Amino acid sequence: MSHGNKNRKRLGATAALAVLVPLALAACSGSDEDGGGDASAAVDSLTVLDYYNDEPAKTQIGDMLSACGTSIGVAKVDHQSVPGPTLIQKVLQQASSKTMPDVLMLDNPDIQQIAATGALAPLSDFGLNADGFAKGPVAAATYQDKLYALQPGANTIAIYYNKDILSAAGVEPPKTWDELKTAAKKLTKGSQYGFAFNATADYEGAWQFLPPMWTNGGDETQLKSPQVAQALQLWKDLVDSGSASKSVINWSQADVNDQFIAKKAAMMLNGPWQTPNLVKAKINYGVVPFPVNQAGQTSTAPLGGEAWTVPLTSSEAKMKKAAELVACMNTDENQLKRAKEGGIVPTKLALADKYKAENPTMVGFVEPVANARSRTGKLGDKWPDQAKIIYTGMQQVLTGQAAPADAMAKAGAS
Question: Of 21 and 357, which CB lies nearer to other proteins in the complex structure?
Answer: 21
Among 124, 167, 399, 414, binds other proteins (CB under 8 A): 399
What is the DSSP pairing of strand 193-196 with strand 265-270?
parallel
Which range in 154-162, 166-174, 201-209, 361-369 contacts other proteins by CB under 8 A?
201-209
Min dist CB 250 to other proteins, Å, is: 5
Which range in 53-61, 84-92, 125-133, 343-351 contacts other proteins by CB under 8 A?
84-92
Among 44, 202, 353, 358, binds other proteins (CB under 8 A): 202
Question: Of 119 and 328, which CB lies nearer to other proteins in the complex structure?
Answer: 119
> Who contacts 245 (Cβ-Cβ below 8 Å, separation ≥6)?
193, 196, 239, 251, 259, 265
Q: Does 82 bind other proteins (CB under 8 A)?
A: no
Q: Does 116 bind other proteins (CB under 8 A)?
A: yes
Q: Which of residues 361-390 bind other proteins (CB under 8 A)?
A: 384-385, 388
Q: Does 5 bind other proteins (CB under 8 A)?
A: no
Show the CA angle centred on residue 337, arms to residues 340 and 83, nearest 5°: 75
Tell me the site size for other proteins, rule CB under 8 A.
Answer: 42
Among 122, 135, 169, 203, binds other proteins (CB under 8 A): 203
Question: Of 90 and 175, which CB lies nearer to other proteins in the complex structure?
Answer: 90
User: What whole-number distance in Å separates Cα of residue 221 and Cα of residue 232?
Assistant: 16
- 151 and 309 in contact (C-beta within 8 Å)? no
Among 2, 4, 5, 18, binds other proteins (CB under 8 A): 18
Q: Does 24 bind other proteins (CB under 8 A)?
A: no
CA dihedral 348, 353, 358, 360 (to 10 degrees): 110
Question: Of 18 and 27, which CB lies nearer to other proteins in the complex structure?
Answer: 18
Q: Does 243 bind other proteins (CB under 8 A)?
A: no
3-state SS assignment for residue 291? coil
Q: Does 245 bind other proteins (CB under 8 A)?
A: yes
User: What whole-number distance in Å separates Cα of residue 154 and Cα of residue 100?
Assistant: 25
Question: Of 58 and 388, which CB lies nearer to other proteins in the complex structure?
Answer: 388
Among 2, 8, 13, 23, binds other proteins (CB under 8 A): 13
Q: Does 186 bind other proteins (CB under 8 A)?
A: no
Q: Which residues pair with 268 in a beta bridge?
A: 160, 196
User: What one-character DSSP code corresponds to residue 32?
Assistant: -
Q: Which of residues 88-107 bind other proteins (CB under 8 A)?
A: 88-89, 92, 95-96
User: What whole-number distance in Å separates Cα of residue 162 and Cα of residue 286?
Assistant: 7
CA dihedral (291, 293, 299, 303) positive or negative? negative
User: What whole-number distance in Å separates Cα of residue 323 and Cα of residue 329?
Assistant: 10
- 65 and 329 in contact (C-beta within 8 Å)? yes
Q: Which of 109, 120, 117 shows the shortest CA–CA distance to 147?
A: 120
Among 398, 404, 408, 413, binds other proteins (CB under 8 A): 398
Buried b or exposed e, range 230-249, using 16+ CB within 10 angstroms: bbbbbbbbbbeeebbbeebb
User: What one-character DSSP code corresponds to residue 347?
Assistant: S
- Write out the residues near other proteins by the rule CB under 8 A: 10, 13-15, 17-18, 21-22, 88-89, 92, 95-96, 113-114, 116-119, 191, 200-203, 245-247, 249-250, 264, 384-385, 388, 392, 395-396, 398-399, 401, 410-412
